Amino acid sequence: MPPPEPLPYLVAQDIPLDVLFEDAHLIVLNKPAGLTVHPAPGNRDGTLVNGLLHHCPDLPGIGGEMRPGIVHRLDKDTTGCIVVAKSQEALVKLQVQIQQRIASREYLAVVHGVPSADHGTVIGAIGRHPADRKKYAVVHDGSGRHACTHWSLVERLGDYALLRFKLDTGRTHQIRVHCAHIGHPIVGDPVYSRCRKLPLDLPGQALHAVQLGLDHPISGERMVFDAPPPQVFDKLLAVLRRRL
């Protein structure tokens, strides 16, 4: 066995950031596709954290060496709202809001097929896939963690649909796994959607964190942030609408 790859040393990098809001305590970003949130073995730099260290020089030491300020994650190719704490007090309070569902997170996704109902809830524990350890799945053997996803139908698009999601929990790949579990995998998902001819070349799954609501960790003011979908997401919708 080769020796384990050492963890990367964090360096500040001048990576463009789409800032939706910033003050002395937190920063809210619209994350693009292709940007990993924090370094890990095999992905040493060029991450959101590297860009944040350049943008916020005081970030190191907040919440751990490798994930400074990170309150929650988005998958590499998932776009949209993400909040990062700029102080230890803000980090702890924002993490509590995520755990206690005070913070709200809503997503948009284009999926294969059209659900028969206008809304629903998927409840299914998520754990490692029994046959492919690089994937996650809804499991029933007690090894998974409780996960709950609420969805509503926004638009029927022929053989596709635009859905909106609200999360009660925040498990790894939760929306992607739950969509695949109910037979409506997300368009462009390289892991959970079977190879199909797509109506448009996509950088990854058509999943966008469209809205984030939270109480300001210091003032207590309720704040809601909306992130416009990337151009490729809007282009996908336009292509599908023209087919109707």
Of 18, 75, 132, 189, which is the active-site residue? 75
Return the number of other C-beta atoms located less than 10 Å from residue 180's C-beta: 23
Tell me which H or E stretch contains 238: helix 231-242
Alpha helices in 19-131 (DSSP H): 48-55, 88-99
118 carries an active-site annotation:
no
Angle at 122 (CA atoms; ends 197, 117), nearest 5 degrees: 70
Return the number of other C-beta atoms located less than 10 Å from residue 125's C-beta: 18
Phi and psi torsions of 209, nearest 5°: -80, 95
State whether residue 31 is helix, strand or coil.
strand
- Separation between Cα atoms, residue 27 and residue 188, nearest integer Å: 29
Residues in the chain: 244
Give burial (CB, 10 Å; 0-12/13-18/19+) of 178. buried
Minimal CA–CA distance to 103: which of 125, 75, 71, 80?
Answer: 71
Amino acid at 166: K
Beta bridge partners of 69: none
Active site residues: 75
